């Protein structure tokens, strides 16, 4: 089977589909065959429906045959993390709690993908309820990193990044609460974009931490990220936190915004704990931008040291509230051993949730409890304001920030059994969510062990067009995404 198709970009495939050199059904057939071939090794999917995908592809071909203007993603197979609702498809959050749940409606991003002609392909594995950094917390099975299937793909959107890297989809969607798009993108060698909070509707996304969650794309190139973002971004009346902002043509803006830019290097992001190979790769990227006429300026984000503590107070508090609805009464797992209604609550939740989800619910309930709310949750919200102000101050001086995405490359499955060691994997990404900013991870090389490394670029709110242009400038000079794993 030729890798020409399943490792192609959206732009290249659209050209072939539009010229009738390739049909959507043929493309989908190749994706199905590829998925069946590599899934036993990768395990990126929780489920997929071949007949439904082929029917969607046939409908796309029929629309083209009428001469209608094709949508931006017409005939392109796009996978969705299993926390994003698709009408009539399983919606499990990779949890026993929702193992048999089928969504009765579409998320807003799902509706927009369908409107753009995308072929929705499968339900992608993740850490349970998007809580984790390795996709080992899935209740169903772990996902392997396509570059070394004994290693993790990152998380929580590990299925989304692994499926793309393995050639099982042309683009995928994930959700990012503290780095869950960018970190797995870095570990799998693909592009991952976390948009400004509120730019993409959260309606139909299973909530983890509502003030932090954001849906975004995984793609092979920055241009593909611009294409997908243009489809899913925009105001939604069904999401009260949705921005009422004009959505530019992100793909066209890539050609207009050429720099040079002033780029900031946060000194706090290059401290102890950063893998030397990743540090060297990011330093080389900084040197590239400088060689292109960009002004490089060291800056400080002084409250960075409090990001991890602040995040795990706010995120767990919101998780405790959001997950209270899973009580065994209306939907989700219901214990068959309960003696009365109180027993039903306790046993349904004990049986339905995994260890990491329980850990975060307990922590969140504690910080919200009487006598502790002011000491923990309220104080964390005040520190969050200080963290946001650090970024605001920085963007008075620079157009974007350059940092590593992850402090380490993909690690062996089971290597980080200590929760704190796992939480530290998100040290460079969580500040972005606390501040509601856009950020993108692009591949920036490979370790001596042939594991991908990621470069993170962070921008001011609603400046995705500029951020994408900065990222593409590096990508054009160093097209690491053209390397693919051998499975």
The residue-averaged pLDDT of 394-403 equals 98
Can 156 be counted among the known catalytic residues?
yes
In percent, the amount of the chain with pLDDT more than 70 equals 99
- 94, 157, 161, 180: the catalytic one is 180
Q: How confident is the model at residue 417 (pLDDT cuts 50, 70, 90)?
A: confident
CATH 3.90.1300.10 fits 3-264+397-482, yes or no: yes
Give the CA distances from residue 45 to residues 35, 93, 131, 135, 169, in Å, rounded to whole numbers and listed in that order. Answer: 9, 12, 17, 12, 11
* pLDDT computed for residue 255 by the predictor: 87
258-273 tens-digit pLDDT: 889 999 999 999 988 9
- For the question of residue 134 being annotated catalytic, the response is no
Query: 338-392, pLDDT tens digit by residue?
Result: 999 999 999 999 999 999 999 999 999 999 998 899 999 999 999 999 999 999 9
By CB atoms closer than 10 A (0-12, 13-18, 19+), residue 253 is middle
Q: Which of 103, 156, 348, 441 is catalytic?
A: 156
Please pick, among 81, 114, 347, 416, the residue that the annotation labels catalytic: 81
What would the mean pLDDT of 48-55 be, rounded to a whole number? Answer: 98
Q: What is the number of helices (H) and of strands (E) in the chain?
A: 17, 11
Long-range contacts at 14-18 (CB < 8 A, ≥ 24 apart)? 14/70, 14/74, 14/75, 14/76, 17/64, 17/70, 17/74, 17/75, 18/64, 18/70, 18/74
The mean pLDDT of the chain is: 96
For residues 300 and 431, what is the distance between their CA atoms, to the nearest angstrom?
13
- pLDDT of amino acid 418: 87
* pLDDT tens per residue, range 312-350: 999 999 999 999 999 999 899 999 999 999 999 999 999
Q: What is the pLDDT of residues 301-320, one digit of tens each?
A: 999 999 999 999 999 999 99
pLDDT of residue 1: 44
Conformational region of residue 438, where left means phi above 0, alpha means psi within -120 to 50, and beta covers everything else: beta
Residue 389: other Cβ atoms inside 10 A: 14
pTM over 0.95: yes
- In angstroms, the CA 281 to CA 199 distance is 31
Q: Pick from 460, 440, 457: which is nearest to 392 by CA? A: 460
81 catalytic? Reply is yes
Q: Which of 3-7, 102-106, 129-133 shows the lowest mean pLDDT across its residues? A: 3-7
Q: Given this model, what pLDDT does residue 306 score?
A: 97
Residue 184 in contact with residue 451, Cβ under 8 Å?
A: no
Ordered by start, the domain boundaries in the chain are 3-264+397-482
């Amino acid at each position: 089977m030729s890798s020409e198709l399943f490792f192609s970009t959206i732009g290249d495939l659209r050209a072939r589909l539009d010229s009738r050199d390739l049909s959507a059904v043929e493309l989908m057939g190749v994706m199905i065959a590829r998925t069946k071939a590599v899934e036993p090794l990768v395990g990126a999917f929780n489920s997929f429906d071949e007949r439904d995908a082929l029917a969607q592809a046939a409908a796309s071909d029929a629309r083209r045959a009428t001469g209608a203007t094709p949508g931006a993603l017409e005939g392109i197979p796009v996978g969705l993390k299993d926390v994003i609702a698709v009408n009539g498809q399983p919606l499990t959050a990779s949890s026993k709690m929702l193992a048999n749940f089928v969504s009765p409606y579409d998320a807003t991003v799902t509706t927009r993908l369908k409107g753009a002609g995308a072929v929705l392909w499968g339900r992608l594995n993740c850490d349970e309820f998007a809580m984790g950094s390795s996709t080992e917390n899935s209740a169903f099975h772990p996902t392997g990193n396509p570059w070394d299937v004994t290693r993790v793909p990152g998380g929580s959107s590990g299925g989304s990044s692994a499926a793309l890297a393995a050639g099982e989809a042309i683009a995928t969607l994930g959700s990012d609460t503290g780095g869950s798009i960018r970190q797995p993108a870095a570990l799998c060698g693909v592009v991952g974009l976390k948009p400004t909070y509120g730019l993409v509707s959260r309606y139909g996304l299973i909530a983890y931490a509502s003030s932090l969650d954001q849906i975004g794309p995984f793609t092979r190139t920055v241009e593909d990220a611009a294409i997908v973002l243009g489809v899913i971004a925009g105001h939604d009346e069904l999401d009260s936190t949705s921005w009422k902002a004009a959505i530019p043509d992100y793909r066209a803006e890539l050609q207009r915004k050429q720099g040079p830019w002033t780029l900031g290097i946060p000194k706090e992001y290059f401290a102890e704990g950063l893998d030397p190979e990743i540090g060297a790769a990011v330093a080389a990227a900084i040197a590239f931008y400088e060689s292109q006429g960009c002004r490089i300026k060291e800056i400080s984000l002084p409250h960075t040291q409090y990001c991890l503590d602040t995040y795990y107070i706010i995120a767990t508090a919101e998780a405790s509230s959001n997950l209270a609805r899973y009580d065994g009464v209306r939907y989700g797992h219901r214990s068959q051993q309960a003696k009365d209604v109180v027993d039903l609550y306790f046993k349904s939740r004990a049986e339905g949730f995994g260890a990491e989800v329980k850990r975060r619910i307990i922590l969140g309930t504690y910080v919200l409890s009487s006598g502790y709310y002011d000491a923990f949750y309220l104080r964390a919200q005040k520190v969050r304001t200080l963290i946001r102000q650090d970024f605001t101050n920085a963007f008075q001086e620079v157009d974007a920030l350059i940092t590593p995405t992850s402090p380490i490359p993909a690690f062996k499955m089971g290597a980080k059994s200590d929760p704190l060691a796992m939480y530290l994997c998100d040290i460079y990404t969580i500040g972005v969510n606390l501040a509601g900013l856009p950020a993108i991870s692009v591949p920036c090389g490979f370790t001596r062990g042939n594991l991908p490394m990621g470069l993170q670029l962070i921008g001011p709110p609603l400046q995705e067009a500029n951020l994408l242009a900065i990222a593409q400038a590096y990508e054009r000079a160093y097209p690491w995404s053209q390397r693919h794993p051998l499975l």
